[in-house]
Structure 1
Amino acid sequence: MDRSGELSSARRNAVFVTVALGMLLAALDQTIVGTALPTIVGDLGGASHLSWVVTAYLLAETIATALAGKLGDLFGRKALFQVCITIFLVASFFCGFAHNMAWLIAWRGVQGAGAGGILVTAMALIADYIPLRERGKYQGALGAVFGVVTVLGPLLGGLFTDHASWRWAFYVNIPVGIVVMIVCALSMPKLPTVARPVIDYLGIGAIAVASTCLILMTSWGGTEYPWGSSTIIGLGVGGLIALALFVWIELRAREPMLPMRLFANPVFTVCGILSFIVGFSMFGALTFLPTFMQYVQGASATASGLRMLPMVIGLLITSIASGTVVGRTGQYKWFPVVGGLVTALGMYLLSLMDASTTLVVESLFLFVLGLGLGMSMQVLTIVVQNTVSYHDLGVSTSGVTFLRTLGASFGVALFGTVYAHALNQQIARFGPLPAGVDLHVLESPAGVRSLPEPLRALVVDGYAESLQTVFRTAVPIGLLAAVVALLLKQVPLRDTARAAATDLGEGFGMPDAGDREENLERAIATVWRHRGPTAAPGVLASAGISGGIGLAWCLSRVVLFAEHYGRARVDQIARHYHLPPQVLWPAYQRCVEDGYVTAAGGDVALTPRGVAEYDRIAAAWRQWLSGELADWEDASDTDFSDAVRSAARQLVFEDEPAAREPAPHSLRG
């Protein structure tokens, strides 16, 4: 099978459900542990390592996303998807089995590596198995799944923690993952691997070392080791050396994972910095808000997840609204500027909360934070895709999402350091604990609630002040985002970018495989979904196709089935669309009468006149696509022209569900 849509509708839907469930697992585990972390710390100890449960996952995911796209090209995406699901499931089991914090952190890293491969491979699998004309719909749905599940993870984590055990936040992946593996094996045909990509192993290794050293430095500095210690200084120096080595490698690599030439484009540079900051702020807030709600306000894990919903609502409102405005007007610059300011305001408001803050006030503060994050997230990937050349389309898209995930890793680590340092200072103020009160009691929300007064009030105030410090630290980050966004140039948006702006999934920056052909196909699919069906009559009329859509449908199905099965039969075509043959025979009989098709014994074939008419149909669609994508055209890049021709061919060849195919009836009378 190739990409021309041989799968039946049922199998296509099975492929989509499989990929969506895999993505759900991977995206969910980015944030599901947020509401479970206080209980995990209470069970396993190691409050100072709390942030690493999230950081290890995000860092491993960041590194895996850089590798997964090209490994899929090399070994096959279906095989890679199955391997990554297996890695994820094994790691999920051992995370749930953990009996100390070091074990949990180590397996969270392995889990993140599997998740990164799943997320990147998901979009590529849609490109492999879903027809181009349907691809935009499926990809948009996947992006929305990724975004919504990412921010709803804390609620589900709370439900498992309160009504089962925090371990079920990991164990629940296993039955779902097994179902994904079974359906994947049954529904996805194996595709031949023809690509032999060049993989930048040295560059990926260098950035992995640099990221790990710098994150360890920010995480351990002032908590595990003094800032002036040889360990912290060594990590800082090692990280900077590895970062310089990464730049040196990328300048010389045949196919660098992050080409340094991209930073010569000021729009990419600004968007990359903003993506880093947005990831930094968003995951910092998501990680520590449930901790505040459980320790300071005494909320259950489930309640803390529910209390996050105002932020989710605010984020969705501004993501959708900003995408709609950008799509209609092409104006995007002020969204990240205002978003940075509103995010800073939201963080400042959170820093004012304490044990006496009412639910209504807290919800308002979280709603404000969500509004700011939504405005900042939606436009960055779209703007980058709009300004780079076609040759850099894939690496620039994956580069922005890579920087966003890397920012999330740094944000959680740095906020975790601030939290641990402030909490240690607060605990030191408590003085000797009363007889019979173990220090470890302070590490769990239930333990804090069990303390006698006035010690409980003192401990709650200590947690409140520690977390207020975290949120105050985030305020300058939001202001920095607004200042950086002022440097973002306003340039006219390509039509494909404006169409993509209205898709919710684009705003969440899902990890991307970095394949420019797949990104261009995604743009073509988006344009087709928004404009293709309404353009069809005009396109065919301009080409002088007298039979219109009905004739185009009949001729293209003859070509499609002859290509795949060696011959085309009307009963075979009808069976494919779950129709009785007598429904299609009148349409094909009209084609025979008009000299486009010959029919013998149920077989149909194009006559020379039919071939000429089909070629005119294909040329008309190719011309329409070229016009729609004129703002992408790069005369020096023949790959672009080939991609447009390939897409035009797919749009003619590919089948659609019968429910959307009234075309043959239009040939009657």
Structure 2
Amino acid sequence: MEELSHKRKLSIMIAIIGAMFFSAINQTIVSTAMPRIIAILGGMEYYTWVITIYMLTSTIATVLVGKLSDIYGRKPFILSGIVFFMIGAFLSGFSKDIFQLITYRGIQGIGAGIIMSSAFTAVGDLFSPRERGKWTGVMMAVFGFSSVLGPTLGGWLVDNMPWKWLFWIFLPLGIVAFIMILALFPKVPRKESESIDYWGSLFLTLTIVPLLLGFSWAGTKYAWGSAQTIGLFAAAAVFLLIFILVEMRAKSPVLPLSLFRNDIVTLSNVIGFIMNAGMMGALIYLPFFVQGVEGISPTYSGYVTMPMSLAMVFVSAMTGRMITKTGKYKKFAVLGFPIMVAGMLIMAYMDSVWMAVIAMIVFGAGLGLGMPVFSLTVQNAVKPNELGVATASSQLFRNMGGTIGVAVMGTIMTTSLKNHMQSAAAATGSSGTANIANLASANPKLAASLKDLQGPQALLDQPKLKELMASLPADIQPVIQHMVDMLKDSLSSALTTVFLSGTALLVLALVLTFFIREIPLRTSNKMPEAERAVQQEPVSIH
């Protein structure tokens, strides 16, 4: 599609961006409101599963669609992705409990994975690697804009309307995006010589599912050393071995192992995995600080995260233009990671809303510098007919990093919170504990209140907490306030541990970035033979 007129390419990009924005805004609008939704539906222990299932299904969809879109073209998959996403969003609004919400979010994840994989690959079809820098920056800016609008709008909606409208309000945009893609996107004839790798797709899915379930359940539902956890990891290892054997014999593998002989692809994917593990795993808990520790409503919580998105929009757009202008990309990642690390460190030690805002600005600037780079490195290092599967591999590693990061950080969060609560209870002293227990035994309402304060869920619904305090006798309110303050301190300390863990992962990603071999961005999708030979060197780091 590189030969299309500039006007036609621009029209197609508008359609792609419309589909991406529909997917992104539906994700970000929920982020700030999710603590309140969990407080209403119940099931705090399943909080991470609402995010994990979305990322799990999007990960599987991403990698499976990559190769299929190389065969059938991008158009049918973007359309089907929009349909899946709309169905999931529509059903999510009817959720009666946390388990229904998790199921419907899984359907949304399928749609999101298909849309994102197809959209980024379509940009590779339309533009040369040198031109992609600008458009990658624009696409990052779309994510940034949705991150500006989404959390703020989501917070306002959940404060003023039934929470189901979070999922329904942008459904008309999905219809518009569908019509735009249907009308503007060219249909590409199927590559008849390519066959579908059914067995590879099956065993890749069977590898991903138990692996991510193992990380999600370890330390929460099951102990890390339990038979269930070890069994899941063992199953993932067995299916991975079978998958490798299948791919070695497949005529048209769903994930060609030859990709990983390219050191640029391999290292970029590893960095993307680590970066998303640290970033997603830590940032998903930012609303816990703003709403739980600081007591800010979901509406104003959105304003706290807005500066990160604004910084990312501005910096990513500028970065994309500079990459296109200079043809260089490595220096932007090398500069971006230290800034992200600085932002994460501020989060670890923030003790006010203003420090949270500063952390968001710093982190957003670093994200805008580093985020656009690694899709470009992968796409620039492979042949044009491998764009779909190469882009899918990049998305696969990022999604898996994010999913595993959320799961592991959830374990760190739960364990750390439990330890801090035990330490705080011990510091209260046996006499204080006995006094609270005696009061509770004589007052059933107080006993119920104390039960509600066993976890951070009570802090995430401030109206309910204020109502509870007002309903208690004046002599009992100081007891509950003491429990609330203790819970806030424990939550704040646990979040510090989570953010420091994310910082450590970002530092590791920074170190690996220095080893990426930078090659010039091509000015055409046609790869010269000499350049092709250079880009297919075996793995080595210089």
Structures share a fold, TM > 0.5?
A: yes
Could you tell me which amino acid in structure 1 is paired with residue 508 of structure 2?
A: L
Structure 2 CA distance for partners of 1:374 and 1:277, relative to 1, 3 Å: farther
**Aligned partner (choices 329, 352, 361) of residue 367 of structure 1:** 361
CA distance in 1, matches of 2:48, 2:200: 27
Match runs of 1:32-111 below 5 Å: 32-72=29-69, 78-111=75-108
Q: Quick check: 1:27–1:149 contact (8 Å CA) kept in 2?
A: no
> Could you say which residue in structure 1 is the equivalent of 2:19?
22
Work out which of the residue numbers 254, 258, 269 in structure 2 matches 1:272: 269
Residue in structure 1 matched with residue 540 of structure 2 by the alignment: none
Q: What is the match of residue 139 of structure 2?
A: 143
Report 1:82-231 matches (<5 A). 82-122=79-119, 143-144=139-140, 146-149=142-145, 151-152=147-148, 153-181=150-178, 187=183, 191=187, 193-196=189-192, 197-231=194-228
Distance between the aligned counterparts of 1:81 and 1:397, measured in 2? 15
Instruction: Give 1:412 deviation, angstroms.
Output: 1.6
Partner of 2:520: 493
CA-based RMSD of the aligned residues comes to: 3.5
1:23/1:379 Cα in 2 relative to 1: closer, same or farther (>3 Å)? Answer: closer
Deviates more, 1:193-202 or 1:304-313: 193-202
**Deviations 1:256-281 (Å, cap 9, x if unpaired)?**
23322232222222111111122223
Per-residue CA deviation, residues 332-386 of structure 1 (Å, 9 max, x unaligned), is 44443443333233222211123xx241x22222222223323322322222333
Q: Could you tell me how far apart the structure 2 residues matched to 1:68 and 1:350 are? A: 36
1:284-320 CA-partner distances (Å, limit 9, x unpaired): 2431112221111111112112111222233345434
Q: How far does residue 142 in structure 1 lie from its aligned partner after superposition?
A: 6.6
Residue 139 of structure 1 deviates from its aligned partner by 5.6
Q: In 1, distance between residues paired with 2:383 and 2:19?
A: 32
Aligned letter for 2:162? S
Flag the 1:163–1:64 CA change in 2: closer, same or farther, 3 A. Answer: same
1:412 aligns with 2:406: yes
Partner residue in 2 for 1:583: none
What SS is found at the alignment partner of 1:20?
helix
Q: Would you say the 8 A contact 1:84–1:118 is kept in 2? A: yes
CA 218–448 in structure 1, closer or farther in 2 if over 3 Å, else same: farther
Check the 8 A contact 1:338/1:482 in 2, yes or no.
no
Say which SS state the counterpart of residue 96 (structure 2) adopts.
Answer: coil
The 3-state SS of whatever aligns with 1:303 is: helix
Q: Secondary structure at the match of 2:499?
A: helix
In 1, Cα distance between the equivalents of 2:132 and 2:255? 26
- Larger relative contact order (CA 8 Å, sep ≥ 6): 2
CA 1:344–1:255 in 2, change beyond 3 Å: closer, same or farther?
same
Q: Alignment partner of 2:239: what SS?
A: helix
Residue in 2 that maps onto 1:243: 240
Distance across 1 between alignment mates of 2:384 and 2:118: 21
Give 2:371's aligned residue: 377
1:370 maps to a residue whose letter is: G
Q: Tell me, in whole angstroms, the C-alpha distance in 2 between the residues paired with 1:365 and 1:92.
A: 31
Q: Structure 1 residues 477 and 248 mapped into 2: Cα distance closer, same or farther (>3 Å)?
A: same
Tell me, in whole angstroms, the C-alpha distance in 2 between the residues paired with 1:373 and 1:188.
32
Distance change >3 Å, CA 282–CA 454, structure 1 → 2: same
Does the C-alpha gap of structure 1 residues 81 and 493 become closer, same or farther in structure 2, counting only changes over 3 Å? Answer: closer
Contact 1:50–1:416 at 8 Å: present in 2 too? Answer: no
Q: Which amino acid aligns with 1:229?
A: S
- Aligned equivalents of 1:65, 1:367: Cα separation in 2: 30
Residue from 287, 292, 296 that aligns with 2:289: 292
* Of 415, 420, 445, the match for 2:461: 445
Letter in 2 for 1:148: G
1: CA distance, partners of 2:80 / 2:378: 31
Q: Report which of the two structures shows the higher radius of gyration computed on alpha carbons.
A: 1
Question: Aligned residue for 2:529?
Answer: 634
- Confirm or deny that 1:387 pairs with 2:399: no
Q: How many residues align?
A: 494
Distance verdict in 2 for CA 1:279–1:156, change over 3 Å: farther
Shift of 1:5: 6.7
Q: Distance in 2 between matches of 1:190 and 1:322?
A: 29
Distance 1:339 1:140, change over 3 A: closer
Change (3 A) 1:375 1:250: farther
CA distance in 1 between partners of 2:326 and 2:72 (Å):
43
Aligned to 2:447, the other structure's residue is in SS state: coil
Deviations 1:499-536 (A, max 9, x none): xxxxxxxxxxxxxxxxxxxxxxxx56xxxxxxxxxxxx
Q: Secondary structure at the match of 1:257?
A: coil
Unpaired segments ≥5 residues, structure 2? 426-432, 441-445, 470-479, 533-542
Contact 2:134–2:324 (CA under 8 A) maintained in structure 1: no
CA 1:177 to 1:448, structure 2 compared with 1: closer, same or farther past 3 Å?
A: same
Cross-structure match for 1:648: none
Change (3 A) 1:400 1:127: closer
More divergent stretch after superposition (68-77 vs 480-489): 68-77
1:108 offset after TM fit, Å?
0.8
Q: Alpha-carbon deviations, 1:17-61, whole Å to 9, x = none?
A: 554333222222343322112112101222222122112112211
Q: Deviation digits for residues 585-625 of structure 1, max 9, x if unmatched?
A: xxxxxxxxxxxxxxxxxxxxxxxxxxxxxxxxxxxxxxxxx
Among 340, 344, 348, which residue is 1:343 paired with?
340
Aligned to 1:469: 497
* C-alpha contact 1:126 1:138 (8 A) present in aligned 2: no
Give the whole-Å Cα distance in 2 for the aligned partners of 1:314 and 1:192.
Answer: 38
The 3-state SS of whatever aligns with 1:437 is helix
Query: Match of 2:207, as an amino acid?
Result: A
Change in 2 beyond 3 A, CA 1:471/1:66:
same
Quick check: 1:270–1:484 contact (8 Å CA) kept in 2?
yes
In the superposition, the TM-score normalised over structure 1's length comes to: 0.66
